[in-house]
Chain A
Amino acid sequence: MSLSSLTKPWQPMSYGFLDASAKREIRRKMLKAVAVPGCQMPYASREVPMARGWGTGGLQVSLTLINPKTCVKVIDQGADDSVNAASIRRFLADVSGAPTTLDTLQADLIQSRHRIPEEKLAAHQTLVLQVPNPEPLRSVQPNMSIARQMHADADYGRMWLQLYEQIVRSGRVMQGASYPAMVNGRHVMTPSPIPRWDVPKLHMAQHLTILSAGREKRIFAVPPFTRVEPLVFDDVPYKVEDHGDLTCNRSGARGFFMNEIPLPDGSSTHEISDSDYGVKTIRARDGETVEMGATWYNNGQMEDAQ
């Protein structure tokens, strides 16, 4: 045995940037995350060439899953052209040689920040959500060790109390994005800061979702066909954003999650948040043949899940 046998020939970078041991650790944790849906699994979370908080958790999962044939889509706020999505997409392609796409239907792997695409994901697709704060209990318990014990005990009383107090004070649950959900009837999970509009898309879905927080070093998952139930009281139903009747001023798409654009006259207009779906709508309108996937929402209404 010699010193050189301990290492491998020098190369500027491992395939997919992460070295083999980092990937193995993430693989082991991903399996555990799938085995206990919604439960936060700690992982080492190596530093990657992007700042913490900029998708490093999602990136590590994508780098582990990727191979030269994986077709990758990256979105931020629903848009492929958002600057950080462009940056992550370029990095993934550079270090893996994988093809990239803007089309949700073409993608094998979708890394996203804050949105789930409007077209339904299929069984062969994997959604990787970037997570800033993996702890749904943070607002009632900032100490991570205590919060962990609360999950172990399925002690969600303070979470329910917080929701109840909001209803008493404001007439509704005031949680915007990151709406907490019970997964597989056991673990309360943050779905990451996706809007309430997107949470039902995780419930009994066809696809696997991996959620990864790089800075906070936690990974969790929602396998296909897994119950994801937003925390609600029987008499105060879950309410998604009131976007079902809004129309996109650029594409004419109607009944999807929108970005509100303020106008100088004090009013506002709307633009569809899922940029690729907007593009497809325009192309179809202009007479191109475009493959439009089935959408979770139709006429602004989520189809009934099982």
Chain B
Amino acid sequence: MQTHPQPSDLDTLANASFSALLTALSRPGQIQILPTAGEAGIIAALLDHECRVACADPRLLPQVMQTGALVAELPEADHVFLGKMTDPSQLDHVKTGSDLYPDAGATVVINVSLDTGPRLRLSGPGIDGTVTLCVDGLPDGFWSARDNLIRYPMGFDLFLQDGAQVMGLPRSTTVEVL
């Protein structure tokens, strides 16, 4: 081969966004920076016609549908965009997979404010001991609902997003509200 193939702008966006997402999920509690604010990078990195997506945020629907992903209800969705969340009972219907196929648990993206709000202490894989941080903008009862729904290795994985900032919370992370 004489020349190297060049990445397109979309390749570059998807690659850099995924790098942020993978690091975020590998190191819960550490904030990563996406190449663009909002969900565009996450959508470019992960979604296509092989995905079923639940989208509570109408802003995102056109972007999601352009990927060819099927728009689905929460219990069928493997990717869930909740936008700004008001009702913790939305979590009740998120797919958690099975012991046989934990990978069927959904990936859930929620808009929050990072660095303000209630203090949380995280522990689990990816965390050196414990880490303490603040997350605001989640409805009351969110953390206990998450705690009740995750039956490790069954569960769902969260990306908490604030502009271009993203934080990952895999199902393996234990969250204590301080």
User: Which residue of A17, A29, A34, A65 is within 8 Å of B170 (Cβ)?
Assistant: A34
A221 to B171, CA, bound (A): 14
Please, which residues of chain B bring their CB within 8 A of the CB of A34? 22, 25-26, 126, 170
The segment from B9-17, B111-119, B132-140 that touches chain A is B9-17
A20 and B10: CB pair below 8 A? yes
CB closest chain-A residue, reference B79: A28
Taking a contact as CB atoms closer than 8 A, the residue among A37, A97, A223 that contacts B4 in the complex is A97
Contact-residue bracket for chain B:
35 or more
Given contacts A15-B7, A94-B4, A152-B100, contact A30 B14 (CB under 8 A): no
| Chain A residues with CB below 8 A from B146, complex form | none
Chain B nearest CB from A26 CB (Å) reads 9
Bound-complex Cα distance A24 to B11 (A): 11
* Complex partner residue of A36 from B78, B127, B172, CB under 8 angstroms: B172
Q: Is the CB of A186 within 8 A of B22?
A: no
Chain A contributes a number of interface residues (CB within 8 A of B) equal to 52
Contacts of B1 in A (CB 8 A): 12-13, 94-95
* Chain B residue, CB-CB nearest to A148: B100
Q: Is A237 an interface residue (CB 8 A)?
A: no
B83: A residues at CB distance < 8 A: none
B77 to chain A, nearest CB (A): 13
Evaluate contact between B172 and A184: CB separation under 8 angstroms.
Answer: yes
With both chains docked as a complex, state the minimum distance between the C-beta of A99 and any C-beta of chain B, in angstroms.
Answer: 11
**Interface hits, A79-107 → B, CB 8 Å:** 93-97
Please measure, in the bound complex, the distance between the C-alpha atom of A204 and the C-alpha atom of B158, giving whole angstroms: 23
Query: Smallest Cβ distance from B43 to chain A, in angstroms?
Result: 10
Q: Which residues of B contact A152 (CB under 8 A)?
A: 98-100
Least CB distance from A18 to B in Å reads: 11
Asked whether any CB of chain B lies closer than 8 Å to the CB of A31, the reply is yes
Q: Which residues of A contact B6 (CB under 8 A)?
A: 15, 97
- B25 lies within 8 A of A67 (CB): no
Q: Does B163 sit at the interface, judged by CB under 8 A? A: no
Q: Report if B81 contacts A (CB, 8 A).
A: no
Would you call A32 and B172 a contact (CB within 8 A)?
Answer: no
Chain B residue nearest to A13 in the complex (CB): B5
| B45 lies within 8 A of chain A by Cβ | yes
Chain A residues closer than 8 Å to B155, beta-carbon distance: 35
The A interface is mostly helix, strand or loop, or mixed, namely mixed
Query: How far apart sit A186 and B16, CA to CA, in the bound complex (Å)?
Result: 31
The prevalent SS among residues of B at the interface is loop
In the complex, chain A residues whose CB is within 8 Å of the CB of B78: 28
Query: Is residue B148 contacting chain A, with contact meaning CB distance below 8 A?
Result: no
A95-B4 in contact given A28-B107, A32-B105, A149-B100 (Cβ < 8 Å): yes
Distance A225 CA – B128 CA, assembled complex (angstroms): 6
Taking a contact as CB atoms closer than 8 A, the residue among A11, A42, A97 that contacts B103 in the complex is A42
A23 — which chain B residues lie within 8 A by C-beta?
A: 14
CA A17 – CA B1 in complex, angstroms? 12
Residues of B within 8 A of A11 (CB): 5
Q: Whole-angstrom distance from the CB of B67 to the nearest CB of chain A?
A: 9
Residues from chain A with Cβ under 8 Å of B22 in the complex: 27, 30-31, 34, 65, 208
CB pair B16–A31 under 8 Å, yes or no, is no
Chain A residues within an 8 Å CB radius of B45: 24, 27
B102–A36 touching, CB < 8 Å: yes
Contact partner of A35 (CB less than 8 A), chosen from B7, B10, B14, B157, is B157
Contact residue among A21, A28, A35, A208 (Cβ-Cβ distance under 8 Å from B172):
A35
A41 at the interface (CB under 8 A from B): yes
Task: Taking A27-B18, A28-B107 as given, write out 8 further A-B residue pairs in contact, using a Cβ cutoff of 8 Å, ordered by the A residue number.
Answer: A24-B50, A28-B78, A34-B22, A35-B157, A36-B152, A67-B15, A96-B5, A97-B6
A-B contact pairs, 19 of them (CB 8 A): A11-B5, A20-B11, A23-B14, A24-B48, A27-B46, A28-B46, A31-B22, A33-B103, A34-B22, A35-B172, A37-B125, A39-B103, A64-B18, A65-B22, A67-B19, A208-B22, A223-B27, A224-B125, A224-B126
